[in-house]
Amino acid sequence: MNIKSIIKKFYVIPSLIIQNFIRKLHSENMYISQANVVTLTHQKTFGEYKNKYEGNEIAIIATGSSLNKYKPIDGIINIGVNKTILYEKLNLDYYFAQDFFACKDYMSKLAKYPNIKKFYGQSPTNFYGLKEVNIEKTIIPESIILKHKASKYFQYCKYPTNPIFFNPDIDKTWLVCGGSVVFAAIQFALFTNPKRIYLVGCDCSSGYFDGKAGADVSHLVKSWKELKKFAEIYYPETEIISVNPVGLKGLFKDLYQDND
């Protein structure tokens, strides 16, 4: 080995160590910066809703085909997600969306409903716990958030390869993705501390209430099981009921309205 090779060897190794240290430091600083943004944003977005619906009942309205079997319950607070804005048999009080690519064809309709409180979510630039994922198509434009007078929230995605850690303090930290916007909606619902939550159209199967085909989302049962553990620890006085369940049959209390 000549002198040049020796010099190069002893130069490259320290150089790589320094570069990796700088990358790690930059990543940590970016994470801290984003965490501060999340805290400030969520205090504004969710702070006023803590314990807001104590003693009330809430329905989480998702888009599964069983939604067509649902018989609306009087005096209930309705939280819809995604395409439920097109379901005209229910009046929504709240609405959650976080995938612009999936929602853009009907999001323009939301501007026509000023009385519906809207929450629009965003993922971090990199999904923490996963490889880098290009999420540019999913980001809801800031201009639309402003136009719709929506409140912004951020989600932390460790789905599906790592453990899911739900947190009761959504006014201070990320919401958990869980693989579907419905988990943002139910984290919010639990935060309001109601006596009962009905899961409507949360089929964890394939197909939508409007008859259109959809991908099989039975894998979401894993996230629902983690959500159940979380709710039993932090909100044991909130009863969760699956209405006309499909994929969630037997996980929570089941209610079949066809038998009423």
**Per-domain residue ranges of the chain:** 3-259
Low-confidence ranges of the chain (pLDDT < 70): 1-33, 124-135, 157-164, 214, 259-260
Question: Using an 8 Å Cβ cutoff, are 92 and 212 in contact?
Answer: no
- Using one digit for the tens of pLDDT, what is the confidence trace for 162-202? 556 889 999 998 898 888 999 999 999 999 999 999 999 99
Length of the chain: 260
Sheet holding 239-243, edge to edge: 175-176, 151-156, 117-122, 94-97, 77-81, 57-61, 196-200, 239-243, 253-255
State which amino acid sits at residue 207: G
- Using one digit for the tens of pLDDT, what is the confidence trace for 209-238? 877 876 788 889 999 999 999 999 999 999
Fold entry, domain 3-259: sialyltransferase cstii, chain A (3.90.1480)
Tokens of 175: 């919401």
